[in-house]
């Protein structure tokens, strides 16, 4: 299923870049046991093929004033193609929604919502979420404690 053949260098490289997306190419090369030129070529190829989608700064949620994370279960009206798509589109655009999936199980959609506090969530829920097209039921599960923050993907099955 991987649309790319990876070897041990790619694997090490991707792991290193997930851990520190800003590591200089020279350091990265040394870290994975390669000289700078082929290392930088590999990175470029991985970027061009879309394996590396981009780079991002990881922020401390608390310290930027976003103290509340809510996992929102949403049930929608029996999905008609169009309605479902409209719902997805509407959800994708909301900045407070930092992740959204169509899921199996009790609910239809699972959203991860990040806001400053409970007051802000109340407002977001009533003014935005409840007004989304086709919503039938919403259940809010509040994050009480972060056991493990968003972490690198497990590249365990790759070679190397």
Partner DNA sequence: AATAAAATTAGCGAATAACACCAATCTTCT
Partner DNA sequence: AGAAGATTGGTGTTATTCGCTAATTTTATT
Contacting a copy of itself within 33-92 (CB under 8 A): 49-67, 69, 71, 88, 91-92
Residue 119 phi, psi dihedral angles, 5° rounding: -60, -45
Considering the rule CB under 8 A, would residue 96 count as an interface residue with a copy of itself?
yes
- Determine how many CB atoms are found less than 10 A away from the CB of residue 17: 18
Site string for DNA, 42-81 (x = CB under 7 A): x-x-------------------------------------
Q: Angle of helix 36-48 relative to helix 25-32, nearest 10 degrees?
A: 100
Site string for a copy of itself, 99-138 (x = CB under 8 A): xxxxxxxxx-xx---xxxx--x------------------
Where does this chain touch DNA (CB under 7 A) — which range of 31-39, 61-69, 75-83, 95-103?
31-39
Find all residues with CB under 8 Å of 24, minimum gap 6, and list them.
none
């Amino acid at each position: 299923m991987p649309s790319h053949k990876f070897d041990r260098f790619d694997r090490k490289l991707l792991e290193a870049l997930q851990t520190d997306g800003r590591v200089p190419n020279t350091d990265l090369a040394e870290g994975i046991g390669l000289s700078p030129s082929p290392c930088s070529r590999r990175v470029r190829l991985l970027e061009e093929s879309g394996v590396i989608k981009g780079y991002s700064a990881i922020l401390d949620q608390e310290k930027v004033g976003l103290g509340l994370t809510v996992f929102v279960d949403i049930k929608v009206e029996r999905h008609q193609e169009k309605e479902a798509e409209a719902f997805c589109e509407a959800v994708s655009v909301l900045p407070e929604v930092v992740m959204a999936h169509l899921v199996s199980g009790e609910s239809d959609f699972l959203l991860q919502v990040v806001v400053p506090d409970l007051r802000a969530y109340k407002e977001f829920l009533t003014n935005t979420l409840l007004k989304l097209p086709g919503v039938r039921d919403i259940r809010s599960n509040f994050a009480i404690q972060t056991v493990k923050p968003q972490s690198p993907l497990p590249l365990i099955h790759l070679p190397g």
